[in-house]
Structure 1
Amino acid sequence: MEFRKMMDSKYRDLLVSYIKDESEQALYQGQKFSRKSIEHKISPEDIISLHKYLMIDLYPDLPEHVIKSFDILLEVMIGYGFAYREHQSLRHVQQEIRSEMEIAANVQQTLLSTEIPSTKELDIGAISVPAKMMNGDYYHFVEDEGHTISIAIADVIGKGIPAALCMSMIKYAMDSLPETRKLPSNVLENLNRVVEQNVDPSMFITMFYGMYDIQSHMFHFASAGHEPGLYYNSKTGEFNELVAKGLLLGVDKKAKYEQVKKEINPGDMIVLMSDGVTECRTEEGFIEKENLIGYIKKHMHLKAQDIVENVYKELEKIQDFQLRDDFTLIIFKREEV
């Protein structure tokens, strides 16, 4: 309040001082006056009104057209003031939303974190990179006392906090399944009922669920409309798709899921991914699956984690380092032991 009482005299002194000798000191004091005005929430139009009043008081013979020019300036500044305050308000809201999103992203990372299993029979690598702050992709490993290693990889059709909450529900639904219901087709059937009953109809989830039997080296898998995985045959040097029929989760609560098995020999690989991998876009359009296979072959002499990281770098580069969708890539490589 003290500044408001004194601002008339302070601004008068500034105005007179500058008109008299146009000093740099007066301009500097003017900048300080501006900062003080902002601190005390003095609007731009209030300063224009004060300026007009003082000019008429100091120069009674001021030409009429000059006085009128202050009127138009005042109207301009009133509009500017409203727009500026609205802009500041929106910035504040955006900062709050960003802060909340950062907290949500950290919570998501904590809730959905999973450790890559370590076993002498398998070399496993995994990478998941969100296109934005929140990740709509999800992967989770389940290790069964050295007998099996299961992997779930999912993609929510829908992004942001709702997708993160949905993924948390999926994770805990999987964790609550009894040991007798761990076969891939059973897992997807159970999760499908959970999603159908609890998730908004506008949201759908694709999922690939695989179970690797370390003793028999058989890979059992099922899919709920997810991007097909790839199987690399080390003897023939060929890649083939791992296809299993099944609807997206949440479409039909009575849906059944085909379960397929594949024998994995030493040197063979299983490649699992989200559609953010196969739908990488360049100026020419989507990359072909052959291009993806080419990048995998280029680095397949490396450890599995190095393969997924190098393939990610290759695909990130051809997209000018701008991911358009969440990216998840997982590789199982059977070791020769």
Structure 2
Amino acid sequence: MSRRQLKKQYNELLLSFLLSGAEDQLYSAQQLGKWLIRHNVAPEDIIDLHLEALEGHVDVPEPVRISFQLLTEIMIEYGIAYREHLFLRNKQQQLESEIEVAVTMQHTLLPASIPDAAGLDIGLISVPSKKMSGDYYNVFQLEDHLLGVAVADIVGKGIPAALSMSMIKYAMDGLAAWARKPAEMLRQLNGVVERNIDSSMFITMAYGAYDTSAHRFRYAVAGHEPGFWYRSRTKRLADLPGSGLALGLQRDSIYEEYELQLKRGDLIILLTDGVTERKVGDHFLRRSELSEYILDLIGLPCQEIVDSLYRKLLNLSNHELPDDHTMIAIRRTK
């Protein structure tokens, strides 16, 4: 629509409204307003358009004419701010669309299912605190009697964390030769992370290999939240031993390997600090409290344990999830 056509349409609309005041003219005005917004017509230009049309139909008193000058000056600043708002809103919509694509891609990095393993009951839960998660997990088949189990927490959130997650996933795929040796796997991953992420970031991780024929779990830890080990014979829950520098903090870090021998009914739990670091009432959750909650659920199947614990902690923390919550539970059943 040209300037002349716009002026003609506005004149006709204003005259019709002045003569009849019909509500259908208000609807037409709303549609014209939407068109003006879509075509980025400035508010001060609309005021000039209105004054020109008004002068064509009525004798505008001088004070009213002068008042339009004041309104125009106000609308100039308003128009600048409004156009900036539209620009930022469009950029926000574009960013949200890109984040949705990134979230979908992030989901493809995580396992779609847990492998069936003879003699094991496995439960897994991972809930992001925001759209994009900073937690990585995987349970995968290495060979007939060997499962790989990984839990990692990327310090940070959003797109940088998602990029780091993809790096961990594909680095592990490329380091498959070391998958049976947890300490060496972490050493190799540390080299990849140290070379490829910003110095302000790092990644904590626990990685292990579970031998389903001997029910032996060998693992190594890189600055990660300690897991739990439940022994059915004593009915006690203890912290999993293990320490080491987080990935990316120091070149050529060396990691120690640990080994557990699981008896029938024994259970190990790997988790991220989003499980433990939350406020409950007027205090932060104590590890002793978490242990009690786990023991209350210990007789349930592993998937029910992780699901029920998540719901309980969510209720206790007033349905606030300040960090990503990831937990893997593995029990020997035979």
Task: Please confirm whether the aligned pair reaches a TM-score higher than 0.5, indicating the same fold.
Answer: yes
The question of whether the paired residues in 1 share the 8 Å contact of 2:178 and 2:184 is answered with no
Q: What's the counterpart of residue 26 of structure 1?
A: 25
Q: Which residue of 2 aligns with 1:300?
A: 298
Tell me if the contact between 1:136 and 1:159 (Cα under 8 Å) persists in the aligned partners. Answer: yes
Asked if structure 2 preserves the Cα contact closer than 8 Å seen for 1:208 and 1:226, the reply is yes
CA shift, 1:273, in A, is 0.3
Q: Which residue of structure 2 aligns with residue 174 of structure 1?
A: 172
Alignment size in residue pairs: 334
Within the candidate set 213, 235, 240, 2:238 is matched to: 240
Shift of 1:275: 0.5
Match of 1:7 in 2: 6
Report the more deviating stretch, 164-173 or 52-61.
52-61
Match of 1:157 in 2: 155
In 1: Cα distance, 2:22 partner to 2:142 partner: 81
1:29 counterpart letter in structure 2 = S
What whole-Å deviation, never above 9, does each CA across 1:47-94 have from its counterpart, x for those lacking one?
A: 211222333444446142x22322222122222222222111111111
Q: From the superposition, tell whether residues 29 and 141 of structure 1 become closer, same or farther in structure 2 (CA, over 3 Å).
A: closer
The 5 Å alignment of 1:278-289 reads: 278-289=276-287
Q: Is the 8 A contact 2:229 2:269 kept in 1?
A: yes
Q: Which residue identity lines up with residue 312 of structure 1 in the other structure?
A: Y
CA RMSD across the alignment: 2.2
- Could you say which residue in structure 2 is the equivalent of 1:46? 45
- Whether the aligned pair in 2 keeps the contact of 1:150 and 1:211 (CA below 8 Å) is yes
- Structural mapping, 1:24-173, within 5 Å: 24-60=23-59, 62-64=61-63, 66-113=64-111, 115-173=113-171
State the partner residue of 1:208: 206
Go from structure 1 to structure 2 and tell me whether the alpha carbon gap of 1:27 and 1:114 turns closer, same or farther (over 3 Å shift). closer
Name which of structure 1's ranges 19-28 and 97-106 shifts more when overlaid on structure 2: 19-28
Structure 2 gaps, min length 5: none
Q: Alpha-carbon deviation of 1:21? A: 4.2
| Alpha-carbon shift at residue 46 of structure 1 (Å) | 1.3
Q: Which residue of 2 aligns with 1:225?
A: 223
How many angstroms apart in 1 are the aligned matches of 2:178 and 2:87?
55
Structure 2 CA distance for partners of 1:34 and 1:142, relative to 1, 3 Å: closer
Contact 1:112/1:168 (<8 A) preserved: no
CA positional deviation for 1:178? 5.3
Q: Normalising to structure 2: TM-score of the pair?
A: 0.91
Q: Unaligned regions of 5+ residues in structure 1, if any? A: none
Residue type of the alignment partner of 2:308: N
Identity within the alignment, %: 44
Instruction: Give yes or no for contact 1:117–1:141 (8 Å, CA) kept in 2.
Output: yes
